[in-house]
Amino acid sequence: MSFALDLVIIGGCGHAGLPLGVAFAESGLSVRLLDVNSSAIESVNQGSPPFREPGIEASLRRCLTQGRLAATDDPGVIASAETVVVCLATAIDEHLNPDPNRFLSTIEGFGDRFVDGQLLVLRSTVFPGVTRLVEERIALTGKAVDVAFCPERIAEGNAMSELRELPEVIGARTPAASARADALFRHLTHETQHVSPEEAELAKLFSNSWRYLKFAIANQLFMIANDFGLDYERIRNAAGYKYPRASDLPSAGFAAGPCLFKDTMQLAAFNNNNFMLGHSGMLINEGLPVYLLTRLSQRFDLAKMTVGILGMAFKAESDDVRSSLSYKLKRILQVRAAEVLCTDPYVETDPDLAPLEDVLARAELLIIAAPHRVYADIVSTAPVVDIWNLRGDGVRV
Ligand SMILES: NC(=O)c1ccc[n+]([C@@H]2O[C@H](COP(=O)([O-])OP(=O)(O)OC[C@H]3O[C@@H](n4cnc5c(N)ncnc54)[C@H](O)[C@@H]3O)[C@@H](O)[C@H]2O)c1
């Protein structure tokens, strides 16, 4: 069977889908990005990525010019592609529960578009067992479609290099699906690891939970040191210097964003809500803004002060505000402080942000919430709270 296109990515204009689509198109494949976000589609087709991802823009423009890549809202493209990759979001709800049905029903909605001979790759971080459910639902349609789960493992901001550097985890139940997914990802990487879909689903959730817990232990150790009047960074440096068993202890800081928290909660839900460390880590990481403000309230009369928050993205050098703890900090400060001013050099989606100069001129206390490099050198007479130690002045609060 011959197909007009190599690849369609559902959710192709998102943070995972777009870098992947651009990387595959750069490798010579013909790719279509299927999405429902019309402004993102327009922006991609004009060669302008709808979010910040270093290194993507030149590649995107090259692929558009050479006709290997385009974004569309027409689901009709699905039937013309040999491989369909799903990069839809997999959020948790307000009760911290995953909603696999939403993901499944979106795929089912495309069910009559699939055709015999296709490979369907699930790339989203799914609730364990979802790959099997997709396989079963595809089988019910009677179509001969191979299914594989190949988790996206990039970190935002490093996508364009990591897509080519990271080994690919391939979770497939049949030799055919395994071989086809392998051949696909060999366009990007020379190393693949083959496991079952369930092992691949857990490999992804274990990785993100592990990372989230590393940040949690760092944040808890920071709080312990700080409560004893000691500087966590000095201790961390002493512990890790030429001592590999402690050198991977992270700095303190807001551990947030659209993946780590969500995936730790997905793993907890999968294990019947029995993931004590995961839930404890969540309480520590999500509690850090409250801890900071409790400590600051002991030193400052916040109710009479204008407080400036520097960095609203969930991490350094990013414009992504999804699940950013900067906004939790802001909401609490709006109750406790006289005034709150927020700024970020990258975030363009928040109309309430002020220019950095205004915040520096007016704030009586500054908190670095996202460690964008630009904040390392700010000059201010106001005290600067820097739990990341971006400025190298220590992290005591
Ligand atoms: N963001 C990352 O760096 C990253 C890294 C690893 C894994 N992941 C995982 O990848 C998945 C996607 O995350 P994301 O950050 O890219 O989310 P995202 O919200 O940035 O992207 C999802 C895209 O899907 C589109 N979409 C929604 N409904 C659609 C539909 N019915 N048809 C077509 N398109 C539709 C949205 O418009 C959006 O562009 C998640 O499971 C996430 O956990 C993300």
Tell which of 200, 227, 260 closes a domain: 200
* 355 and 222 part of one domain: yes
Considering the domain architecture, whether residues 191 and 45 belong to the same structural domain is answered as: yes
Q: What residue type is assigned to position 96 of the chain?
A: L
13 CA distance to ligand 1 centroid (A)?
8
Nearest ligand 1 atom to the CA of 126 is 41
CA distance readout (Å), 94 to 8, 89, 97, 272: 31, 15, 7, 17
Domain boundary residue, one of 180, 200, 220: 200
Whether residue 180 is found in the same domain as residue 245: no
Flag whether 205 is in a domain. no
Does residue 181 share a domain with residue 290? no
User: What is the distance in A from the centroid of ligand 1 to the CA of 88?
Assistant: 4
The answer to whether 193 touches 167, Cβ cutoff 8 Å, is yes
Q: For ligand 1, what atom is nearest to the CA of residue 40?
A: 39
Q: Are residues 253 and 219 in the same domain?
A: yes
Shortest-distance Cα residue to atom 39 of ligand 1: 14
**Structure pTM?**
0.97
Our CA dihedral for 127, 133, 137, 142, rounded to 10 degrees, sits at 130
> What is the percent of the chain where pLDDT is above 70?
100
Atom 36 of ligand 1: nearest residue by CA position: 11
332 Cβ neighbours under 8 A, 6+ residues apart: 289, 290, 293
* Per-residue confidence band for 242, with pLDDT thresholds at 50, 70 and 90: very high
The two tokens of residue 126 are: 């799914």
Range of 360's domain? 210-385
Is 60 contained in some domain?
Answer: yes
Are β-strands 168-172 and 146-149 bridged in parallel, bridged antiparallel, or unpaired?
Answer: antiparallel
State what percent of residues in the chain have pLDDT above 90. Answer: 98
Nearest CA to ligand 1 atom 24: 11
Nearest CA, atom 31, ligand 1? 106
Q: Is 333 part of a structural domain of the chain?
A: yes
Q: Are residues 341 and 375 in the same domain?
A: yes
DSSP strands (E only) in the chain: 5-10, 31-34, 69-72, 81-86, 119-122, 146-149, 168-172, 192-195, 306-310, 339-343, 365-368, 384-385
Domain boundary (177, 200, 223) is at 200
Q: Name the DSSP letter for residue 127.
A: P
Condensed to tens digits (0 to 9), the pLDDT of residues 307-347 reads: 999 999 999 999 999 999 999 999 999 999 999 999 999 99
Tokens representing 266? Answer: 């997905």
The answer to whether 156 touches 178, Cβ cutoff 8 Å, is no
pLDDT of residue 305: 98
pLDDT in tens, 346-393: 999 999 999 999 999 999 999 999 999 999 999 999 999 999 999 998
Q: Which residues line ligand 1 (CB under 6 A)?
A: 10-11, 13-17, 34-37, 40, 87-90, 106, 124-125, 152, 154, 156, 258-259
Residue 390 within a domain:
no
Q: What are phi and psi of 18, to 5 degrees?
A: -70, -50
Q: How far is the CA of 349 from the centre of ligand 1 (A)?
A: 18
Is residue 392 in a domain?
A: no
Q: Which atom of ligand 1 is nearest to the CA of 156?
A: 3
Which ligand 1 atom sits closest to the C-alpha of 50? 39
pLDDT of residue 44: 98
Q: Band of the pLDDT at 102, cuts 50, 70, 90?
A: very high
**Confidence label for 35 from pLDDT (cuts 50, 70 and 90):** very high
**CA 262–ligand 1 middle distance (angstroms):** 13
Q: Which of 6-20, 90-104, 277-291, 315-329 has the lowest mean pLDDT?
A: 90-104
Mean pLDDT of the chain: 97
Q: How much distance in Å is there from the Cα of 83 to the middle of ligand 1?
A: 18
| Side-chain-side CA neighbours of residue 59 (13 Å) | 18
Angle formed by the axes of helices 232-240 and 197-227, nearest 10°: 120
| Count of the separate structural domains present in the chain | 2
Q: Whose CA is nearest to atom 9 of ligand 1?
A: 124
Whole-angstrom Cα distance, residue 208 to residue 343?
A: 29
Residues 6 or more apart whose Cβ sits within 8 Å of residue 393: 384, 386
395 located within any domain: no
User: Reading across the β-sheet that carries 384-385, which strands appear in turn?
Assistant: 339-343, 306-310, 365-368, 384-385
My answer on whether 111 and 186 are in the same domain is yes
Ligand 1 mean position, distance from CA 53 (Å): 15
Q: List the beta bridge partners of residue 19.
A: none
Q: Are 340 and 379 contained in the same domain?
A: yes
Read off the tokens for 8. Answer: 């369609």
Q: Please name the residues in contact with 183: beta carbons below 8 A apart, sequence gap of 6 or more.
A: none
Q: How far apart are CA 86 and CA 147, in angstroms?
A: 11
Task: Say if residue 76 is in the same domain as residue 217.
Answer: no
The residue-averaged pLDDT of 20-45 equals 98
Distance 338 CA to ligand 1 centre (A): 38
The residue assigned the tokens 């609730």 is: 127
Q: 118 — alpha (psi -120 to 50), left (phi > 0) or beta?
A: beta
* pLDDT for residue 1 is more than 80: no
pLDDT at 280 over 80: yes
List helix spans (H) across 32-85: 38-45, 56-65
Asked if 226 and 328 sit in the same domain, the reply is: yes
Give domain status of residue 393, yes or no.
Answer: no
Is residue 33 domain-shared with residue 116, that is, in the same domain? yes
> Which of ligand 1's atoms lies nearest the C-alpha of 125?
41
Confidence label for 395 from pLDDT (cuts 50, 70 and 90): confident
Identify whether residues 159 and 267 lie together within a single domain: no
Q: Which of 10, 35, 74, 121 best tests ligand 1's pocket when mutated (most atoms within 8 Å of CB)?
A: 35
Number of C-beta neighbours around residue 183 at 10 A: 12
